[in-house]
Structure formats: structure tokens, C-alpha cells
Amino acid sequence: MRFFDILTLAAQDLWARKLRTFLNLTGIVTGCTMLLLTALGATGSTAVLRGLFESAEEVRKIWIEPQYFYAPEPPQDAITISDLVEADRVERIRSEMIAAWKGEHREEGLDAISPALLAQLSEIPRVDRVIPDVRVDAQLTLDAEAASSTPLFTHIVSTDVHSSVLAAQLLAGDVLDAAPRDEVLVSEWLAYRLGYLSRDDLKRLIGKQVTLRFQAGGRELHWMYQFLTQQYGTLDQGGLAEQIAFASAFQQVLADLDSTSLSSEQKATMRNVTQSLMTSEAESDDTVQVFERSFRIRGVIHTDEAAASPSKMFQTWFGQSSGDVFVHHALASELHTQTSPNADIHNATVVVHSAGDLASVTSAIEKLKLQAFSAEYLWETIHYQIERATSIVYGLAAAVLLTAALGISNTLLISVLQRTPEMGILKSVGARDRDILLLMLAEGTLLGVIGAAVSIGIGWLLSWVGTHFLSLYISSRAGETVTGQLFQFTWWPVLLVCACSIFICVLASTIPAWRAARIDPVIAMRRR
């Protein structure tokens, strides 16, 4: 028999038994469509989410803080494991050995981040900028209404002036310049407390001058004052003046301690406890200082960073400083130095060039005895969940295809029994065993080709619908339009589906084809 004749007979048999063909195709199409959508979705969603991840400004930030205890990596000879240990136990023992070595060789880390260390962070390759997390307390007075307004207790925080998130938070005015100036951004909450309520009011606030009053020094006295008076936020509404008066009185008590009726032991205790506060009369004027500085309001912003970020889907929440007055980070560092005994800080944010630099920069930061937290773990989690979901769906598709293969094999076996007389007639007119075998395999192959074609068509339709709705969902979560294809049609998923469909159908046809080829034509024709 010619190959064309074999294909023709196979196609005619599939057409003659439409219901059987439809049921067989249903299983094949279901499994292959699941397989195709899984392959397309895994590739497309990974690419789209990776693009969103890398474009998100938040993920380029690394939040750092001192590592109070530092454990260096052990040398290789310190974690050598005996060859007598079985291979499946080596890694577990090595992990325990590393943990034990680090526990024994733990070093004292850092209490704070010094300016010199900040400079080292800036010199790490692929670091774009370093933003110290500075927070300074102050009293604020609006100069235009100084006579009638009450000073407000406020927090001044450092701001990344290069951040695009800052521009998205802007309600009125403009963002800060790249160069530090005596200009500030104020929160809408502070504007509300100042009496500027509507958006038009916020616009009128732009350009006005504010005076900020700071306290420098007297940190120990500040803590003692809070302890004795149980008042917190003591810079608020006259509290600063009370602190200064308290400091002066306390200094006088220390100076006149010998003339009091306290016992020698009590005097010694007072001197030991307050040794850091004991100063001379000349030095006491420097213990607590107050200074003022004027700033121009450049803009009004809201502080809902999650809503403002175009990539809030990847918001990390490390180091989200809250405050009312926002200044250039260099200016904030200057104010911090003036109001604190030293310029050390406890937190900072490192901004890298791209998300791909997170791992290398984090490693370099940790070598400086600093703890680093970034969104890299978030991408690893997302990628892991995508791979896990993909594996589950692949397993389901494989189960459906296996079920379909069993169904096809069963229906083809029944078909062989029904067509036994037909097989006998074909053999009697010259058909060879090989021809009968090829006929049955051709039916399976045609079934696989049709199933693959239908699966690709249905997969394309479902992927188009899925891309539309999933893009809307991701856009609502990420805050920006998804431009990539969540289901990316490439050549390898299509070839995979075609190969699986044809292979399953041909494999399912093997036993029926082998049985049909062994039919004795004389016995077959007697069954007619």
C-alpha cells in the first residue's frame, strides 16, 4: 500500500467514527492546552514580573544598620569533614560545623554608622548614592503667622531628592533641588495643622518662610527630665524652655552638692551617676544650646509611599521614615551633627544602579560589618512560587495526557476488534502486516496532529484573554501599565505541545497496531 493510501484510510476511519475521535481529542486537547499555557505563562510571567521588578525604584534600595555582632566566614581548613562520613550527611554536618565555628569566633560589631563608613559605602562599585536615615526634632513656626501661631513639634527627616517616588507624592509646589539649599518639603498633615486645608491653601503655602528651633546637647539631661516628669515629646509647646530651666537648676544642684544635707554615700552616688553631667560653671552654658534656622517651603507632599510608588507591588518597607519636614539628606546630616554629640547614625539606605547589583553590593556591605536588607529575597520568593506553580500545572497536564493516552489505547483496541473483518479483507487483497501496522499508527499520528493544532488555537485564544485580565490585575497592584506579554508564544512551547501530542497518540496506538498486524486474514473474514 502506498503511504498516501494509508493516510487516506486513516483519515476516513477517524471521520467515520466522529464521536470516538471527539472524545479522544478532548483528552488530548485538554492536556496539551494546559501544557502549552503553562509553558507560555511561566516564560511570559517571569519576564513581565522581572521587568517590573527591575524597573521599580524601591527594589534598588538596600536598608542597612549596624551589625552588633559579626561572625566572619570560617576558613576552609576549619570545616573539613572526614572522608568516613557518608555523602548524604556531609552537608548537614558542614552546616552545623560552620554555625559552631561562627559562634566561637564571633566578634564585636558596630554600634553605629560613622561618616567614614558612609564614605566607604559610597565607594562600593555599582552604588548610586547613600542616604543617611536622619531624624531631628524641632519646633516649627510659620514666620508669616508667628505672632498668632503656636510652635508645632515636628520631625525633620532626610530625603532622597533623586527619587521619582518623591515627585509622585507632590501635592503642591516642586521637589527639592539636587544641591542642598535652605528649602524644605512639608507634609499635608503639617499643612493641615498650620491651617492650610484645601488644595488652593496648599498652593498659598508655597514660598513661605518657616523657622525651626533646635536643641543641641543636653542629651542626658533630656532623658533625666523625661524620667522625672514623665513628659515625652518635651520640645512641644514650651517644653524646650522647661528643659533648659531644668538643666540650669540641675547644674546648680550638682555645684552645691557639698552644702546639702545628703550623706557622704549619697553624695558619692549622685556624683557617680551624674558624672557625665558634672561640668564647670563656664561649661554649663554649653550643655544645652538652642539655635534657630529659617527655611523656605518648596512643596507639599503626602507621605503614603505605597500609593505613590509606581512599583508598590515590590515595596520593601525597610527604613520608611515618618516625618513632617523633609530636607536634602546632606542638610539633614548637617542638622544631625549640630544637634547630636557625634555624627554617627544607626540606619541608612544604599541605592544601587540596578536590581541586578543587589547581590554583589549586599555582599560588599556585609563585609563592612553591616546588616543589609533588600528586595532580592522578594524576587527569589516570587520566582520560587512561579516555578512551584509551574511544576504543579505540568504535573496536572501530564496526568491528563496519561489519562487521554489510556483512553485512546482503549478505543483503538475496540476499533481493532470492530474492524477485524476489514483488516482481513485488506490482507487478502495484498496488504502486508507492516501496512496494517502503519495504518493504525497513522490514525494515532493524525489524532495527535489534530489535537496539537486545536490545542495551539485554543491556547492562543485563552492566552489572549488571560493576558488582558491578568495585565489589568497586575497593573492595579503594581501601579503601572504592564507592557509585556504574560503568555509569550515562542517556538519551543509549540514544538513541545506538538511533540507531546503526537508521541502520546502514537504510543497509545502501538499495542492496537501490533494486535491488528497479527490478525489472520482467514479467521478475520470468518467474523464478518
**C-alpha cell at position 179:** 544641591
Percent of the chain with pLDDT over 70: 80
Pairing mode, strands 370-373 and 69-70:
unpaired
Distances (CA, A) of 493 to 407, 452, 460, 502: 25, 11, 12, 14
For the chain, 528 residues long, the average pLDDT of each consecutive 10-residue run is 72 78 82 82 75 77 84 83 87 89 79 88 93 88 75 87 84 91 92 91 93 73 58 50 66 77 81 58 52 92 63 52 85 86 83 88 89 81 79 78 76 68 71 77 86 89 82 68 71 85 82 73 60
Position 289 scores a pLDDT of: 73
Position 477 scores a pLDDT of: 63
Position 319 scores a pLDDT of: 46
Position 286 scores a pLDDT of: 47
Distances (CA, A) of 416 to 89, 423, 509: 55, 8, 10
Question: Who's near 278: CB < 8 A, 6+ residues apart?
Answer: 254, 271
Position 281 scores a pLDDT of: 37
> How far apart (Å, rounded) are the C-alpha atoms in residues 228 and 175?
42
- 484-507 pLDDT, tens digit each: 677 777 788 888 888 888 888 888
Q: What is this structure's pTM?
A: 0.62
Alpha-helical segments (H) within 62-104: 87-104
Position 252 scores a pLDDT of: 75
- 417-451 pLDDT, tens digit each: 666 676 677 777 777 777 777 877 888 888 889 98
> How far apart (Å, rounded) are the C-alpha atoms in residues 63 and 370?
10
Position 361 scores a pLDDT of: 93
Contact 301, 170 (CB under 8 A): yes
Specify which residues 470 forms β-bridges with. Answer: none
Question: Who's near 250: CB < 8 A, 6+ residues apart?
Answer: 221, 224, 277
